[in-house]
Structure formats: C-alpha cells, structure tokens
Structure 1
Amino acid sequence: MMLMYRIDPSLGELVPQLGTNLAIARLTITLKNPVSQRSQVFFKNGFILGASKFILGASKFILGASKFILGASKFILGASKFILGASKFILGASKFILGASLAPLHFLTPCTEQYKYQYIVHYIKPY
C-alpha cells in the first residue's frame, strides 16, 4: 500500500489517502479535470435548470404562436363578415334603386277611375 492524495470535494484541497489502482485512477481523473464534485453537481443542476428554462420558453413560444393563429383566424372571420355585410348592403341598395326606378310605373298602370286622380295629385304634390 502506498500513500496517495486525492482532492476532497468539500474542502477543495489535497487529502492523504491509502491508494489502490482505483485511487490512482481517481486521482488522475481529478487532476485532469480540476472541477470539484460540488461544482459538477452545480453544473448538472444548472444544466437541468437551463434545459427546463429552454422547454418553458419553447412552450411559451408555441402558446404565442397558437394565440397568433387564433387572432389571425378571428381577423379573417371578421373580414368575411364585413364582406358579407357589404354585399347585403349593396343588394339592398340595388333593390332600393330598382324600386325607385319602377315607382313611376305604378302611376302609369291602369286603375279604376276612383283612385286614378288621387294618385296623380299625390304624385304631383309630394309635400
């Protein structure tokens, strides 16, 4: 048995240890990678925290994209309702114009003598 040194993760300094081949390999790995186990744990926790923040950000992005698509579909629905209303307005206006253009024909149609002069007087005096 020979005396070996290892880095104590809690203290961050070399501590004497009775060595075997495993201890030598552990010391070699520890010296090649001077990061202590505590900082490795912090690194692992930080990686997990970063990954969870990334997943949270991705889910927020997907939520925002779905809200955008919902808003766009509502906009398209509103625009189609507007176009439908405008077409109904144009149809009503054309019916009004057609009715106004056909109104004088009503007074030219033959009717009984009793109402004929009433219509003519009403037509001449619009007030």
Structure 2
Amino acid sequence: MFFFFMNPAEMPVFSAGLRKLERSLDLLRSVDPGMPIGAAAALIRIGRQMPQLATGQETLKSIGAQMEVPYSSFLRHTDLLSEGAPGTKALRLIEKGIHPEDRRARQVRLTPDGLNLLLNLDSICSEQ
C-alpha cells in the first residue's frame, strides 16, 4: 500500500458553501439515490424558470439550450423527473403535458413534491 504524508498546514479549508452543496446533494439522494446530476440540474432550472414557462416566454427546448444540453438528453431528464423512463423510478417531481395552442410544444409544472423539494433546497442554500 502506498501512503503519503501531507502537511496539515497545507490542506485546503473549504467554506460553508461546499457544506451547503453537500447537504443539497444528500437531500436529492434521499429522493432517489441514483438521480443523475443532469436530472437534478434540470429540475432546478425548470423550477427557477416556472414563471417564464407559465407565460410562454420559455419552452423546455429553450431551457435545455440554456443548459447547453442536447434536447433529447434534456427530455430524458424530464421523463425521469415525471413519469419515469423504462427501467427507472417515476419521481413525479414534475408533470408534463401538451401545450393547448401548439400541440408540438410541451408544458411542464411542478408537482407538490417537486415544489417542496425545491423549497427545501432553496432553504439549505439560503442559510447564513
């Protein structure tokens, strides 16, 4: 076995921000231990963009583009966040539907569980 000596004085000390991120990831893992980071990022971005989504100023396609994720990958993340995909658990954090005026477009909204999760994440990240 190989062990190496590190001088404690040279070890980095991380801020409370990293602890908040760790707690946020723990919360996400409590919902689904295998949740991909892309799905978690999609949920957060969708939550932050809900007012624009509700008024038609944003679309799922534009949100995927903002995240620099291929639209097909972004849709797989939203599938996981909603009804699930083959071989995955349905997280039911969002609901997807067809836009009433443009049948090619998709609408999305947070479920009560999705809203509660995002409120808890926001609370963790907002702590002083």
Under TM normalisation by the shorter chain, which class is it?
A: under 0.3
Structure showing greater relative contact order (alpha-carbon pairs closer than 8 Å, 6 or more residues apart):
2
TM-score w.r.t. the length of structure 1 is 0.19
Query: Greater helix share, 1 or 2?
Result: 1
User: Between Structure 1 and Structure 2, whose CA radius of gyration is higher?
Assistant: 1
